[in-house]
């Protein structure tokens, strides 16, 4: 037999062996009587995303619409990974909340063995390690701690208003590129609240914090390449000893958190920020309740803020420097782009909806003393932000099954979800589905009015769902509300020639972007 023939036989055998593995899954999906997505269909979308032809929103929406008759749409990736797109909000709730013990983890991104820092952050941590960390960090984000941090965020918002006044004086008008200016505000906000120092990025784009942040939110193409190697060839990632976090970013967070903690401990310095709370967490002295700062949440309008889930863990965490660096880095990577995009879109919808803006201004003017409570009692502001979060939520959320699970539709179909399978929740598509939100493309904050909001909580998940929900939703909402309050106390948002007529997401491999920059004008209010 010639070498060529042997080679052909080996190839045929390999092909048959691999095909059998795929076929087993096809047969199983068919046995449920469900249509499913074949691996090559997924490859098509993957390449379109990589070639910047479509956005992740488009890809998930196509998948969602294609299987409109089904509660669950199974799919098989090119690597034979089983994925279940859960189209039905009731099943999503069942999986993410009631049966959470089977779906504790986000998908396999970076684990602790591959990258000791990124692998230790709350988002990537898994199983018991995640429980311990979530348990430790949750008290940082309760409303009493938010109230403690309100003062420093409020000062950052005042500084933003001063900056606008300076711009008005020097340039005669305030035309803002919302993306750039709100990213800088969010960096200032997070660095004051988390790291305890003023980064002053509004005025100084060369600030060290801003430079670090650019590396975090806009990873260079080498970073994207590393992530691809990680996803498709972990062995190569290990062999090349790659690290997701660049060394200078690591050193920056080490100096800003670990060294600062040591200094504060030695000198007995107190500042009402996250570093202080992390120090208390390390000492095991971080109580969820805080007698001096109690807040009656029931009196506040905070529709999107997460409910608190009790996450139990057997042991408490033994903190290392890398644990602190990982969380510090995560607060920036998870918190900046998200809250700045919300601010950007809030500014846009205010500028193009003057009637709604006037309603919020009436609420602003009725507040005599802008405390944490007063700002969180502004009902219409809360409804307005909730609607922005509905329209621009993330395309989907992921969970990985960590314990075999029987997904029961209640109509005779029971799907076997196996350890290692993924489930996906198509948040954006549900938020834009006529079935759950009538006239979904219409910007209508009144969906969230007391009379109408009844059912919405069942379909609405801008901050995720279940115990793995965004830990910092209260922080993010406070940041957005306090800035909008301060701006509207002095200025109005006005659409100008450069303001886009419609918002559309732009295909991108890194940060979220709109096809057109959102430019609006801030005009001083009469007599303010």
Contacts of 163 (CB under 8 A, 6+ apart): 202, 203
Long-range contacts of 165-170 (CB under 8 A, 24+ apart): 165/490, 168/524
Label the pairing between strands 82-86 and 422-425. parallel
Nearest-approach distance from CB 397 to ligand HEM, in angstroms: 4
**Beta strand pairing call for 491-495 and 405-408:** unpaired
Closer residue to ligand HEM in complex, CB, 48/271: 271
Neighbouring C-alpha atoms within 13 Å toward the C-beta of 215: 16
Q: Please name the helix (run of DSSP H) or strand (run of DSSP E) that holds residue 521, with its range, or none.
A: strand 519-524
d(CA 382, CA 445): 9
User: Quick one: 351 or 470, whose CB is closer to ligand HEM?
Assistant: 470
Say if residues 384 and 376 touch (Cβ distance below 8 Å). Answer: no
CB 391 within 8 A of CB 346: no
Q: Residue 119 in contact with residue 112, Cβ under 8 Å? A: yes
Q: How far is the CB of 476 from ligand HEM (least distance, A)?
A: 4
CB of 138 to ligand HEM, least distance (A): 9
Task: Give the CA diameter of the chain.
Answer: 94
Query: Nearer to ligand HEM by C-beta: 34 or 118?
Result: 118
Q: Quote the CA–CA distance of 124 and 129 in Å, as a whole number.
A: 10
C-alpha distance across the termini of the chain, in Å: 91
β-pair partners for 408: 414
Closest separation in Å from C-beta 190 to ligand HEM: 6
CA distance linking residue 402 with residue 422, whole number of Å: 9
Compare residues 174 and 326 and give the one whose CB is closer to ligand HEM.
326
For residues 95 and 364, which CB has a smaller minimum distance to ligand HEM in the complex?
A: 95
State the binding site for heme.
Answer: 470
Dump strand ranges (E) for 118-260: 174-177
Tokens of 48: 């379109």
The residue among 334 and 483 lying less far from ligand HEM, judged by its C-beta, is 334
Q: Give me the residues paired with residue 398 across strands.
A: 424
Cα-to-chain-centroid distance, residue 177 = 22
Q: Tokens representing 436?
A: 């759950």
Which of 108, 31, 44, 29 has its CA nearest to residue 75?
29
CB of 341 to ligand HEM, least distance (A): 8
In whole angstroms, what is the distance from residue 105 CA to residue 367 CA? 43
As measured in angstroms, the least distance from the Cβ of 347 to ligand HEM is: 14
Rounded CA-CA distance 103/95 in Å is 7
* Cβ nearer to ligand HEM, comparing 114 with 336: 336
**For residues 345 and 445, what is the distance between their CA atoms, to the nearest angstrom?**
14
Closest approach, Cβ 344 to ligand HEM, in A, equals: 11
Shortest distance, position 70 Cβ to ligand HEM, whole Å:
23
| Residue placing its CB nearer to ligand HEM in the complex, 121 or 357 | 121
Enumerate the known binding-site residues. 470
Please, what is the minimum distance in Å from the beta carbon of residue 282 to ligand HEM?
18
Q: How far is the CB of 130 from ligand HEM (least distance, A)?
A: 6
Are 175 and 157 spatial neighbours (Cβ–Cβ below 8 Å)? no
Query: Considering beta carbons, is residue 226 or 329 the nearer one to ligand HEM?
Result: 329
Binding-site ranges for ligand HEM (CB under 6 A): 122-123, 134, 330-331, 334-335, 338-339, 342, 394, 397, 462-465, 468-472, 475-476
**Residue 478: both structure tokens together:** 């406070």
Query: Smaller CB distance to ligand HEM: residue 181 or 342?
Result: 342
CA-CA distance, 273 to 267, in Å (whole number)? 16
Phi/psi for 269 (5° steps) reads -80, 140
**Nearest residue to ligand HEM, scored by beta-carbon proximity:** 464
Say if residues 311 and 467 touch (Cβ distance below 8 Å). Answer: yes
């Amino acid at each position: 037999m010639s070498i060529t023939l042997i080679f052909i036989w080996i190839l045929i055998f390999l092909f048959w062996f691999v095909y059998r593995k795929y076929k087993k899954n096809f047969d199983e999906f068919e046995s449920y009587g469900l249509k499913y997505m074949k691996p090559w269909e997924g490859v098509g979308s993957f390449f379109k995303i990589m070639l910047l032809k479509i956005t992740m929103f488009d890809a998930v929406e196509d998948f969602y619409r294609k299987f409109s008759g089904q509660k669950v749409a199974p799919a098989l990736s090119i690597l034979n990974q089983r994925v279940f797109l859960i189209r039905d909000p009731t099943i999503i709730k069942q999986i993410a909340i009631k049966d959470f013990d089977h779906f504790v983890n986000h998908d396999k991104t970076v684990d602790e063995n591959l990258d000791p820092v990124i692998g230790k952050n709350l988002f990537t941590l898994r199983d018991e390690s995640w429980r311990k960390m979530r348990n430790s960090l949750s008290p940082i984000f309760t409303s009493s701690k938010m109230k403690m941090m309100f003062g420093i965020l409020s000062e950052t918002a005042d500084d933003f208003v001063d900056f606008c006044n300076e711009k008005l004086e020097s340039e005669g008008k305030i035309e803002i590129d919302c993306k750039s200016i709100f990213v800088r505000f969010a960096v200032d906000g997070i660095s004051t609240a988390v790291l305890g120092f003023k980064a002053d990025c509004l005025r100084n784009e060369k600030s060290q914090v801003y430079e670090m942040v650019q590396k975090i939110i806009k990873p260079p193409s080498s970073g994207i390449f590393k992530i691809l190697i990680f996803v498709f060839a972990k062995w190569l990632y290990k062999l090349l000893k790659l690290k997701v976090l660049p060394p200078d970013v690591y050193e920056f967070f080490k100096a800003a958190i670990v060294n600062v903690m040591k200094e504060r401990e030695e000198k007995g310095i107190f500042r009402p920020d996250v570093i202080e709370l992390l120090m208390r967490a390390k000492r095991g002295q971080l109580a969820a309740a805080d007698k001096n700062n109690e807040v009656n949440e029931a009196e506040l309008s905070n529709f999107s803020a997460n409910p608190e889930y009790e996450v139990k863990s057997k042991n408490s965490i033994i903190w290392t420097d890398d644990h602190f660096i990982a969380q510090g880095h995560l607060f920036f990577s998870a918190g900046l782009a998200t809250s700045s995009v919300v601010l950007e879109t809030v500014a846009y919808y205010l500028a193009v909806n003057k009637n709604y803006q006037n309603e919020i201004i009436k609420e602003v003017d009725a507040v005599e003393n802008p405390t944490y409570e007063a700002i969180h009692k502004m009902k219409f502001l809360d409804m307005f932000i909730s609607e922005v979060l509905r329209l621009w939520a993330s395309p989907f959320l992921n969970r990985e099954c960590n314990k075999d699970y029987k997904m029961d539709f209640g109509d005779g179909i029971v799907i076997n979800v196996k350890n290692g399978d993924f489930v996906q929740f198509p948040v954006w598509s549900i938020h834009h589905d006529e079935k759950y939100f009538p006239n979904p493309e219409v910007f209508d904050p009144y969906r969230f009015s007391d009379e109408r909001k009844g059912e919405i909580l069942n379909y609405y998940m801008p901050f995720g769902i279940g115990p793995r929900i965004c830990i910092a939703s209260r922080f993010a909402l406070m940041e957005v509300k306090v800035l909008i309050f301060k701006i509207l106390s002095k200025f109005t948002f006005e659409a100008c020639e450069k303001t886009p007529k419609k918002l559309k997401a732009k295909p991108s491999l890194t940060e979220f972007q709109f096809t057109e920059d959102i430019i609006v004008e801030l005009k001083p209010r009469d007599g303010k």
